[in-house]
Amino acid sequence: MKKYSVRPAVPTDIEAVHALVASQTLFDYGSAISIEDLRRVWQGLNLEKDTCTAFEDGKLVGYGELLDNDSPFVYLAERNNSDLAFQLLTILEDKAVKRKKDKLELFTRISEKNNTLLQLFASNGYRSNLSFLIMELVMEDAPPAPQLPEGISVRAFIKGQDEQATYQADEEAAEDKGYHTPLSYDDWVKRMRMDRETFDPTLWFLACDESEIAGVALNLFNKETETGWVDHLSVRRAWRKRGMGRALLLQSFGEFYRRGVKRIKLSVDSKSLTHAPRLYESVGMKTIQQYHIYTKEV
């Protein structure tokens, strides 16, 4: 097995690490993390305890990070370098075990395109029972106007007013996702990137039944890839099967089209209990990629 110079990342590595991570995520998922987002991730990490880098002849050839104490992610300059991938995963697992939790469940996400990592994690005790589809729509023409159910209106999110009600509606709707872990309000704010300068409340749409939020479409724009993302589409149980999800999608598509954004993507559970992929296919979206969630108890 080839030996590499391995050490934790240091702040001056960020440009090289970003180039490596962005290249892999662009190939695997069709979108590349920005260097600003990587800086934000690093602010939440202890680089000494949560990262590792591998160099060959002074050039970065591998990087690993341990997010939230128990989520190992491996990035490779050479996608087929299974030996280096194994070395990095072993280091990350050792770091996780040293947290000395009573029960440790490791968690990671791997693209269907990344055979090296799929084989690596599967051969090291990880199992997958959950997969997601990445679906895409490229609009050549303006989408049809949304047809709202009777008594329902759609408006943009109002910052400083709608945070708690939107959180509660989104979390309630998510209870029917078999994989969902309930989030505190603060964790939801972080997950939805509301604490970032790039947060755009005018891309969040609320379907309202009088003063009550019945459903939400929480969208974002990726400037690097010029792609609009439907990040969360949620309809509360009492308002389902009335065409509200479709209406919120078309509202979102229309706003992106008005802004000149023609490429739209979203991620959805391949075995969605609410049959969401059917809805997305009905508005012209097609599956372009797939990724799997792997877990391992230590």
Model pLDDT for residues 243-289, shown as the tens digit of each residue:
999 999 999 999 999 999 999 999 998 776 667 889 999 999 999 99
Asked if 5-125 and 135-290 have one fold, the answer is yes
Distance CA 232, CA 186 (A): 17
5-125 under CATH 3.20.20.10, yes or no:
no
Distance CA 105, CA 101 (A): 10
Residue with tokens 């954004």: 261
So what's the pLDDT on residue 83? Answer: 96
CATH 3.40.630.30 fits 135-290, yes or no: yes
The model's pTM is 0.83
pLDDT tens digit sequence for 126-177: 999 889 999 999 999 999 999 999 999 999 999 999 999 999 999 998 887 7
Portion of the chain with pLDDT greater than 90, in percent: 80
Q: Contact 48/283 with Cβ under 8 angstroms?
A: no
The confidence score (pLDDT) of residue 210 equals 93
Task: Give, in order, the Cα–Cα distances in Å from 105 to each of 47, 96, 129, 139, 188.
Answer: 21, 10, 14, 41, 21
CA–CA separation, 189 vs 120, rounded Å? 33
- State the residue for tokens 């969630």: 293
Domain boundaries of the chain, sorted by first residue? 5-125, 135-290
